Amino acid sequence: MMIAFLDGILEEKEPTRVVINVHGVGYEAAIPLSSYDRLPAPGQPVRLLTVPVIREDAHLLFGFMSTAERDTFLQLTSVNGIGPKLGLAVLSGLAVRDIKAAIANNDIKRLSSISGIGKKTAERIVLEMRDKLGKGEMMAALAGGEADSPTNAKLRDVLLALLSLGHKQADAQRMVKDIAGEITPEMPLEDILRKVLSGRHGR
């Protein structure tokens, strides 16, 4: 039986685990630190998104406070050599946005700084997860923002345009970050590019 989420009362919470009372039954789930920070106080209602893992010797439940955390966990654990515990370790070490940014930027050093993640494992994460992240997610990560913001959508368009013009990724990212504070969703892409390429931003 697949348990997609738990709706109940938070009975216990620790940085790595929770117990949720659902109609008198206590469900224990392992969680990342990113989810712990979003939990309510014990005794309060809570909804926890879950991923069950069934093994011969144990039935385990992993919980998340957001779909982004859950989906990233599923992507991480699909990487060769990454089990549920390492998946939680990555989510505990970096925010979802920072994980995606590290993957998009091929930042092996940042990923390997997480406890339990060595250089080779970090390289596998980047190699295998780059293909799993959608184009919008990759562009959002490169631009340093969330995928659903109108302004960040415009920044992704600018970044993509700069890359298509032949600019190196690092240079294009720097140019986008330099102009980010001056961009609004209503600004035409052509005007933004002209401003970026002429170096007139901030004037």
pTM: 0.68
Say which amino acid occupies 57. Answer: D
What's the pLDDT at 101?
86
- Return the CATH fold of 5-64: OB fold (Dihydrolipoamide Acetyltransferase, E2P) (2.40.50)
What's the pLDDT at 157?
76
Cα 161 to Cα 72: distance, rounded to the nearest angstrom: 27
Cα 203 to Cα 195: distance, rounded to the nearest angstrom: 10
DSSP conformational letter for 39? -
Q: Which two tokens stand for residue 97?
A: 């946005």
What CATH class has 67-129? mainly alpha
Say which amino acid occupies 194. Answer: R
Pick out the chain residues at pLDDT < 70. Answer: 1, 134-153, 169, 199-203
Q: Tell me where in the chain the CATH 1.10.150.20 domain(s) lie.
A: 67-129
46 Rama class: left (phi>0) / alpha (psi -120 to 50) / beta: beta
For 113, residues 6+ apart whose C-beta sits below 8 A from its C-beta are 93
Q: Tell me where in the chain the CATH 2.40.50.140 domain(s) lie.
A: 5-64
What's the pLDDT at 190?
82
Question: Angle at Cα 68 formed by Cα 67 and Cα 73, nearest 5°?
Answer: 95
What's the pLDDT at 203?
43
What's the pLDDT at 139?
57
Residues 43 and 10: beta-carbon distance below 8 Å: yes
Q: Which two tokens stand for residue 172?
A: 């294009």
Q: Where are the beta strands (DSSP E) in 55-200?
A: 59-64
